[in-house]
């Protein structure tokens, strides 16, 4: 099956009332792990690459690896997504390469660190939407700023500094026409999100619910949504790692989000932990080993296990065969003739 539009994938998720995990990749083994999990659970998938990933792997490798996945697993709908695009040019280059979806993260300036003004965010995001929709490509925007820094990207801080304002979310969705809207509700990228199990004082599910009430048909996106499970932390530390105690986003909070309009859930850190733990274990227990396959195979298997579990928990499991993918050219026609709406439904306060 050819790569599909993320918009179609999220529209179907909304119909079915489930969420779809968006998993970050940097190499072949991570793509293989996601595809094996998708096959095992019959799930549609979003595979995403950050700017750092595109640089690390040389993005043509990533593109062709994902194309290989679409050939090897023809029954699985795959959307290929640019994570945290920092400029119009980054999104344009992803589209030219063959990504079927881009995130224009206009919440930060092109440096990926400094928060923008609302007007700057609207302007750059709308520019990407106009360019992308003409080509049938999905756009995710972000309003509000996440905490933490990953690979040089991020405003830093705790995640509570720039929580999304529901009125701004409504205006942003109306003025940009984005297909999916990432919001900031107190989460951060990376392993260190919360110093104890998060309650409503640090994880603002009430803000998410308020935004969903005002924008009932808008696909919401939760970034920084790794759960950072203790068992994964423990494996890393048991075999020589030095992770400090930390808490992520509990799966039940994500499930509450899914009941309130969340359709895309970004997960990277949990997979990083699973891979690192598995590699550490092999090298710790068998220091004589030096064939990369001896540790990459268990690493891939560990990531597959996490991804399959999330696919079941988010509800996407069992939905890979629900619909016939529409071609990207037909998606472009849909944006043009208005059958694919870009005007959000707005409910009064």
For the question of residue 83 being annotated catalytic, the response is yes
Structure tokens at 170: 């409504």
Are the beta carbons of 112 and 86 closer than 8 angstroms? Answer: yes
Binding of residue 189 to ligand 13P (CB under 6 A): yes
From residue 62 to residue 101, the character string flagging contacts with ligand G3H as x (rule: CB under 6 A) and all else as - is: ---------------------xx-----------------
Per CB under 6 A, the list member of 3, 53, 104, 180 interacting with ligand G3H is: 53
Q: Whole-angstrom Cα distance, residue 310 to residue 229?
A: 12
How many CA atoms within 13 Å lie on the side-chain side of 45? 37
Three-class SS of residue 175? helix
Give the residue with the Cβ less far from ligand 13P, 90 or 225.
225
Per CB under 5 A, the list member of 51, 204, 223, 310 interacting with Zn ion is: 223
- Quote the distance between the C-alpha of residue 72 and its chain's center: 23
Give the residue with the Cβ less far from ligand 13P, 71 or 231.
231
Three-class SS of residue 213? helix
Binding of residue 280 to Zn ion (CB under 5 A): no
Written in H, E and C, the secondary structure of 233-279 is HHHHHHCCCCCCCCECCCHHHHHHHHCCCEEEEEECHHHHHHHHHHH
Question: Which residues are paired to 345 by β-bridges?
Answer: none
Shortest distance in whole angstroms from residue 346 CB to ligand G3H: 29
Binding of residue 179 to ligand G3H (CB under 6 A): no
- Residues 84-103 interacting with ligand 13P (rule: CB under 6 A): 84
Give the residue with the Cβ less far from ligand G3H, 170 or 279.
279
Binding of residue 187 to ligand G3H (CB under 6 A): no
Structure tokens at 194: 């919360």
Residue numbers at the binding site for ligand G3H (CB under 6 A):
24, 50, 52-53, 83-84, 150-151, 153, 189, 268
Footprint of ligand 13P (CB under 6 A): 24, 83-84, 189-190, 223-226, 266-269
């Amino acid at each position: 099956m050819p790569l599909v539009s993320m918009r179609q994938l999220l529209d179907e998720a909304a119909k079915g009332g489930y969420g779809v995990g968006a998993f970050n990749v940097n190499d072949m083994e991570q793509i293989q792990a996601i595809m094996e999990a998708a096959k095992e659970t019959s799930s549609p998938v979003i595979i995403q690459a950050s700017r750092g990933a595109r640089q690390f792997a040389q993005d043509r490798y990533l593109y062709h690896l994902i194309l290989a996945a679409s050939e090897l697993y023809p029954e699985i709908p795959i959307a290929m997504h640019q994570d945290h695009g920092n400029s119009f040019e980054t999104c344009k280059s992803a589209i030219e390469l063959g990504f079927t979806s881009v995130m224009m993260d206009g919440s930060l300036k092109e440096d990926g660190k400094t928060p923008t003004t609302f007007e700057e965010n609207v302007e750059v995001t709308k520019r990407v939407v106009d360019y992308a929709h003409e080509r049938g490509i999905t756009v995710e925007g972000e309003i509000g700023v996440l905490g933490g820094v990953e690979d040089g990207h991020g405003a830093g801080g705790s995640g509570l500094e720039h929580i999304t304002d529901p009125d701004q979310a409504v205006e942003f969705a109306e003025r940009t026409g984005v297909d999916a809207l990432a919001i900031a509700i107190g989460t951060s990228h990376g392993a260190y999100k919360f110093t104890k199990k998060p309650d409503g004082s640090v994880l603002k599910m009430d803000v998410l619910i308020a935004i969903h009430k005002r924008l009932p048909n808008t696909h919401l996106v939760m970034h920084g949504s790794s759960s950072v499970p203790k068992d994964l932390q423990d494996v890393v530390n048991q075999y020589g790692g030095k992770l400090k105690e930390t808490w992520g986003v509990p799966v039940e909070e994500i499930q509450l989000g899914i009941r309130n309009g969340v359709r895309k859930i970004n997960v990277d850190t949990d997979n990083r932990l699973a891979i690192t733990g598995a590699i550490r274990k092999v090298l710790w227990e068998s220091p004589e080993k030096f064939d990369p396959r001896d540790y990459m195979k268990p690493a891939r298997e560990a990531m597959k296990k996490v991804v399959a579990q999330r696919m079941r928990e988010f509800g996407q499991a069992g939905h890979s065969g629900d619909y016939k993918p529409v071609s990207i050219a037909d998606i472009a026609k849909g944006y043009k003739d208005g059958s694919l709406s870009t005007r959000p439904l707005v409910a009064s306060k």
